[in-house]
Chains A and B, each alone.
Chain A
Amino acid sequence: MLRTMIRKEWQELTRDGRVRVLAGSILLLLGGALAASAVGVRQARSERSAAEALTRTHWVTQEAKNPHSAAHYGIYAFKPAPVLSLIDNGVDPFAGQLTWLEAHKQNEFKARPAQDALPLARLGALGASTVLQLLVPLLIIVVAFAAFAGERESGTMRQLLALGVAPRTLAMGKALGVSTVLLAVLLPATVLGVLAVVQAEGAGAVAADAPRAVTLGIVYLLFFVVWIAVSLGVSARARTARSALVSLLGVWMVTGLLAPRVASDLSRRMVQAPSAYEFATAIANDFSKGIDGHNPADARAKALEARVLKQYGVDSLSQLPVNFAGIALHAGEAYGDSVYDRRFNELWSAYERQEQVRTGVAVVAPVLAVRALSMGMAGTDVAQYRRFTDAAEQYRRQFVYAMNEDMTQNAGEADFEYKASQALWTKVPPFSYAAPNLGWVLGQQRGALLVLLAWVVVSLGWAVTGVRRLSPL
């Protein structure tokens, strides 16, 4: 019985030219997007590792110079391009790709790819994630809107129910029929996705990314289940196929198209993040109250001097067994760290609260929850961007500390004339960053996960009650 129903649905749906055109376009767009981003990700990865190697060579081959000059020369950190970003590049186009790690300063990440793109790119690039989040639900609507309403309108519902088909069986048949059509698109799409990932990084990396990739797949499947349930629920309740279609299209537009932009505006209005000027001014003000490692005339430096003299039990700086300039630099860094910790923490927590506003909007537009989870799995959400910038900053602090420590121990009276050799440069390990595991990401996105699961439960329940009350008229 069920098999007959599925076969009937499959035949009817695949005979519909609109379904064929839409499914074909989705596969074509998905294939094109995956191929293009596989090439892009591969290029970005090789570019970054080349740049890392080159700037590392620059660092270790520095001539003998004062360690503080080397700290000013600095090191560059490049944001890695995760392989799964080829499925969802998330905030990557709008996040800085690199930063200069130098003495005294925590620089922001610079060089957003979007800066070098046209305004047209802002209308929305057609990445794989856009196709999955926007176009696949449309396909679901097109194959499901008439499921019950169409039978009702053409009078065949009366016949079906009169034959003694249980509404539940009918609903199962419809749901499986719709799912079969969807699978016909999703299976080749999955193959394409795996091929793209292998192409971008080789089979070894696929295994490492497998937990994230599988979770990514599950998230999208749950999202499609929600759409199938909503579409069948609406179709079960609608009097005509037209009204089912028009209301589903309305929901699709409002949630898929409007919700992200409105959520972005709302979050900006509810949580004000500082502008570039406000942020820089706040940091500058914090510093003007503190000490400056370059300027021993400063009052705070005087206090430091007194403290150090007392600590070593000597009367003048020349009697110190260590170099005072190095100690002053240490103190300057420590003060700077406290300023940057405070201000960057404020900035990121403002962004976090903005994201919470979005999770709130996701309660009415589940696509927002799916987006958050999708970016999370791909490694391209704001939380992982922050985690990376934090790691880079910790690395900066460590290598600047190593430079100042060498100055303190070895400069003696030579002060800034003291020169360290290449041995010191190679003692600084290269910067490396390991992406967090699946559990960490799910913990960050638990709000979105809860919203998505709630949507699955509620939409299925809603579809079931709609089917139970199925009326032939």
Chain B
Amino acid sequence: MTATARPAPVVAPSALREHRRAPALGRLVRHEWRLLTGDRFGLTATLLFAALLAFASLSGMARHAREQRTIDTVEREYRTRVDSVRARFAALATDTTPPASPFAPDPRMPGAVGNTLAAPWATLPPGPLFALATGQSDLVRPYVKITTQSRQTVVQLEQLDNPLNLLDGGFDLSIAILLLLPLVVIAVGYGLLAEEREQGTLALVMSQPVSVTRVVLAKLIVRGGVVWAATMIAMLGTALISGALAAPLGGVALAIWVGVVTLWIAIWLALCLWVNAGQRSSAANALRLVAIWLALVVVAPALVNAAAQWRHPAPSRVELIGRMREASNAANARGTELLKQFYGDHPELAPPGSVDLQDFAARRLVVQADVDRTLAPLLDGFGAQLAAQQRVVQRWQWVSPAIAVHTVLLDAAGTGASRYRAFEEAITRFHAAWLSFFADRIYAKRRMTTADYAALPAWQWSEASAGALGRTVAPSVAILALVTVGVMLAAVRAVRRVTPVG
């Protein structure tokens, strides 16, 4: 399998001639580079990794382009529609004849304007590093049509997709970094010292006037450097081509990625070194490292997530249906009473003349408002439980650095839980404002005016500040840094005790 059966001299012959002088690090590095390129398995793993990074980059850029295109289409549709509605209104503004039917799309009627004619799209632009991390973006629809319907009807962010594809998720750079990168580091690092020992060259090295730490450092620089460079090229290339630097927070997000990925590689190099310092065979090392990978990357995140779900289970959407029905049956039965009470509380919104308590539109609104009031705590419960789960995960992320890496990469990319939750909250607020704008006019039986058209609430997405993003990711980054330093210290201590034979 490996071509390293031929015992390769660890220290270059020229260095041997320079008696009693420690070889420069540069020379060791050059030698290690030759060793690495001669290692068929390590080379295959690295090349496969590079190919997969390229695949992930291309997929990511295609995904980003599609998302942007859809949002552009949606926004264009809205502008065209609203322009035509305004034009139709301008032609009808002074026409006082009643509309053809209560359901007619008449631009003078607030009900029709608010629910269909001028219903705006609330859109979320792709996050700064959207092309690098799919995250939750395949589950969340980044455009929601805001109407005067109830909150639970409007605030629906479910994307349409093949459930099988959602189950597997895509292959993107964040996944390559999280799952694959450690395995590539293991592939090039499981025999770091064990191979030298198996070939007997370790004894030779240790008899030279060079510290093992220094030789090891050269090995780490070469092996880690190759993986690091390949990842950075893919990351930066994808980010730059997809216009990350022009996006808000792009620079900060990219800096966070560079930092976190560097720490992540350092952790795995240190783990390789630590395992190699034990006096085991390279095969045993490989198994041990894969077991560590399995525990940290596969088992620990799943267990922490399961614990969070068990501690703060999401409310049941199935149960919610029953509650929703009950609330709407109860409110419908009290429609007249609710409307009477409403006009009593808001005399300023009573239409001129006598109040019609059977008015379809006004009744529908007052019933809907009552249902929304009853359901609001239940609907808020979903977000609250998710936030509670996130806190549990945050508290337990020291269990595995993979959890911190995953959370930070997605949050910085703008496809994680925090940004989508902010989007949902912003939509909920905007929907309330939009609804109240039209409700006032429907209750008062007023028609739309030119001033109303000018004052329509407009959707505006405001991205979190760089400071806020920094505060979100800071605890996880701090934990990562601590873990890195800890594992490295342990590895260096272990290496100092290495003996040339098993």
Question: Which positions in A face B, CB cutoff 8 Å?
Answer: 18, 21-22, 29, 36, 44, 47-48, 50-51, 54-55, 58, 76, 78, 90-91, 93-98, 108, 110-126, 134-135, 138, 142, 238-243, 245-247, 249-250, 253-254, 257-258, 260-265, 267-269, 273-279, 281, 294-295, 297, 347, 350-351, 354-355, 358, 381-382, 385
Q: Given the complex of chains A and B, what is the CA–CA distance between A407 and B45 in angstroms?
A: 70
Q: B302 on the interface (CB 8 Å rule)? A: yes
Judging by beta carbons under 8 Å apart, are A243 and B2 in contact?
yes
Check A258–B171 contact: CB distance below 8 A.
yes
Indicate if the CB atoms of B287 and A51 lie closer than 8 Å: no
- Point out the residues of chain B lying under 8 angstroms from A262, CB to CB: 52, 55, 171
A-side contacts of B299, CB under 8 Å: 29, 126
Inter-subunit contact A120/B301 (CB<8 Å)? yes
Find out whether the CB atom of B406 lies under 8 angstroms from the CB atom of A120: yes
20 additional A-B pairs beyond A276-B141, A355-B164, beta carbons within 8 Å, are: A54-B322, A98-B318, A108-B158, A115-B139, A116-B317, A117-B309, A119-B407, A119-B416, A123-B178, A123-B402, A126-B303, A246-B187, A250-B45, A258-B52, A265-B170, A267-B162, A268-B165, A275-B160, A277-B141, A382-B164
- Residues B164 and A47 in contact, CB atoms below 8 Å apart: no
Cβ-defined partner of B286 (8 Å) among A22, A51, A249: A249
- Which residues of chain A are within 8 angstroms of B325 by Cβ–Cβ distance? 54-55, 58, 76
CA of A253 to CA of B1, assembled, Å: 17
Contact A258 B180 (CB under 8 A): yes
A91 / chain B contacts, CB cutoff of 8 Å: 163-164, 166-167
Contact of A116 with B385 in the complex, beta carbons under 8 Å = yes
Closest residue on chain A to residue B52 by CB atoms: A258
Closest Cβ neighbor of A146 among chain B residues: B283
- Report the bound CA distance from A36 to B317 in whole Å: 20
Which of B1, B314, B403 sits near A116, CB closer than 8 Å? B314
Is the CB–CB distance between B171 and A97 below 8 Å?
Answer: no
Distance in angstroms between the alpha carbons of A358 and B385 in the assembled complex: 35
B29 within 8 Å of A (CB atoms) = no
26 contacts between A and B (CB under 8 A): A36-B310, A47-B319, A50-B322, A91-B164, A113-B314, A118-B305, A118-B389, A118-B393, A120-B393, A121-B309, A123-B301, A123-B402, A250-B45, A260-B168, A263-B168, A264-B170, A264-B171, A265-B55, A265-B170, A268-B162, A273-B162, A275-B160, A276-B159, A295-B103, A382-B162, A385-B163
B1 touches A124 (CB 8 A): no
Please tell me if the beta carbons of B1 and A238 are within 8 angstroms of each other in the complex. Answer: yes
Contacts of A124 in B (CB 8 A): 298, 302
**Which one of B310, B314, B321, B406 has the greatest number of beta carbons of chain A within 10 Å?**
B321
Q: Name A58's contact: one of B77, B157, B329, B393 (CB within 8 Å).
A: B329
Closest B residue to A25 using CB positions: B299
Q: Is B375 an interface residue (CB 8 A)?
A: no
For the complex, is B156 an interface residue (Cβ under 8 Å from A)?
yes
Residue from B77, B168, B286 within 8 A of A264 (CB atoms): B168
Contact between B70 and A261, CB atoms less than 8 A apart: no
Taking a contact as CB atoms closer than 8 A, the residue among A112, A250, A267 that contacts B165 in the complex is A267
Contact partner, A95, options B163, B294, B304, Cβ 8 Å: B163
Q: B250 at the A/B interface (Cβ < 8 Å)?
A: no
Q: A125-B306, A138-B294, A245-B283 are in contact. Are A120 and B318 (CB under 8 A)?
A: no
Q: Name the CB-closest residue of B to A382.
A: B164
Chain A: CB-nearest residue to B290: A249
Compute how far the CA of A295 lies from the CA of B101 in the bound complex, rounded to whole angstroms: 9
A76: contacting residue among B55, B70, B315, B321, CB under 8 A: B321
Q: A29 vs B298: C-alpha distance in the bound complex, in angstroms?
A: 12
Mask for B279-296, Cβ within 8 A of A = 1, else 0? 001110011001100100
Q: Are B59 and A269 in contact (CB under 8 A)?
A: yes
C-alpha gap A274/B161 in the complex (Å): 8
- Does B316 lie at the interface of the complex (its beta carbon under 8 Å from any beta carbon of A)? yes
Residues of A within 8 A of B308 (CB): 118, 120
The answer to whether B156 and A110 have CB atoms under 8 Å apart is: yes
The reply to whether the CB of B74 lies closer than 8 angstroms to some CB of chain A is: yes
From B159, which residue of chain A is reached at the shortest CB distance?
A276
Q: With an 8 A cutoff between CB atoms, is B135 at the interface?
A: yes
Question: A155 → chain B, closest Cβ, in Å?
Answer: 16
Across the interface, which residues of A come within 8 angstroms of B62, CB to CB? 269
* A117 vs chain B, min Cβ distance (A): 7
Contacts of A240 in B (CB 8 A): 1, 283
B156: chain A residues at CB < 8 Å are 110
Contacts of B318 in A (CB 8 A): 44, 47-48, 51, 78, 97-98, 111
> Which residues of chain B are within 8 angstroms of A112 by Cβ–Cβ distance?
139, 158, 163, 166
Instruction: Return the CB mask of B259-290 against A: 1 if under 8 Å, else 0.
Output: 00000000000000000000001110011001
- Contacting residues, chain B, for A54 (C-beta < 8 A): 322, 325
Complex CA distance for A242 and B317, rounded to whole angstroms: 51
B382 vs chain A, min Cβ distance (A): 6
User: Which residues 165-221 of B sit at the A interface, judged by CB distance below 8 A?
Assistant: 165-171, 175, 178-180, 183, 187
- Are B161 and A273 in touch, CB under 8 angstroms? yes
Minimum CB distance partner of A347 in chain B: B160
Q: How far is the CA of A98 from the CA of B294 in the complex (A)?
A: 36
| A111 in contact with B317 given A116-B386, A122-B169, A269-B62 (CB within 8 Å) | yes
Q: How far in angstroms is the closest Cβ of chain B from A102?
A: 12
Instruction: Give the residues in chain A near B166, CB-CB below 8 Å.
Output: 91, 94, 112, 114
Contacting residues, chain B, for A126 (C-beta < 8 A): 298-299, 302-303, 306
Bound complex: CA A138 to CA B180 (Å) = 17
Q: In the complex the two chains form, is A246's CB within 8 Å of B286's CB?
A: yes
User: Binary interface profile of B, 446-478, with partner A (CB < 8 Å = 1, else 0)?
Assistant: 000000000000000000000000000000000
Q: Judge whether B171 and A257 touch: CB under 8 Å.
A: no
- Residues of chain A within 8 A of B178, CB atoms compared: 123
B139 touches A297 (CB 8 A): no
- Structural contact, B175 and A351, CB atoms closer than 8 A: no
CA A242 – CA B303 in complex, angstroms?
A: 31
Interface centre among B2, B168, B178, B314 (most CB of A within 10 A): B168
Interface centre among A51, A58, A93, A110 (most CB of B within 10 A): A51
The 7 closest A-B pairs by CB, nearest first: A243-B1, A116-B314, A91-B163, A111-B317, A94-B166, A242-B283, A94-B163
**B160 adjacent to A120 (CB under 8 Å):** no
Q: Give bound CA distance, A295 to B103, whole Å.
A: 9
Indicate the member of A98, A142, A253 with the most B CB atoms within 10 Å.
Answer: A253
In the complex the two chains form, is A98's CB within 8 Å of B317's CB?
yes
Question: B91 on the interface (CB 8 Å rule)?
Answer: no
- Is A245 a contact partner of B164 (Cβ separation < 8 A)? no
Query: Which residues B88-135 have CB closer than 8 A to chain A?
Result: 100-101, 103, 135
Nearest CB on B from A258, distance (A):
7
Given contacts A97-B318, A125-B302, A125-B306, contact A90 B283 (CB under 8 A): no
In the complex, whether B143 has a CB less than 8 A from a CB of chain A is yes
Q: How far is the CA of A98 from the CA of B70 in the complex (A)?
A: 27
Establish whether residues A119 and B135, one from each chain, have CB atoms under 8 Å apart when the complex forms.
Answer: yes
Q: Write the nearest CB–CB distance from A39 to chain B, whole angstroms.
A: 10
Contact indicator A118/B317 (Cβ below 8 Å):
no
Question: Which chain B residues (1-15) contact chain A, with CB distance < 8 Å?
Answer: 1-2
Given A245-B287, A269-B62, A277-B143: A115 and B305 interface contact (C-beta under 8 Å) = no
How far is B406's CA from A176's CA once the two chains are assembled, in angstroms? 42
The residue on B at minimum CB distance from A110 is B158
**For the complex, is B154 an interface residue (Cβ under 8 Å from A)?**
no
B136 at the interface (CB under 8 A from A): yes
Of the listed residues A123, A124, A381, the one surrounded by the most CB atoms of chain B closer than 10 A to its CB is: A123
Alpha-carbon distance A55/B290, docked complex (angstroms): 51
- Chain A, residue nearest B71 (CB): A277
B417 within 8 A of A: yes
Given that A240-B1, A261-B168, A382-B163 are contacting pairs, would A115 and B319 also be in contact in the complex, using a CB cutoff of 8 Å?
A: no
Query: How far is it, in angstroms, between the C-alpha of A50 and the C-alpha of B319 when the chains are bound?
Result: 8
- A347–B382 Cα distance when bound, in Å, is 29
Contact A123 B302 (CB under 8 A): yes
Q: Enumerate chain A residues within 8 angstroms of B175, measured Cβ to Cβ.
A: 261
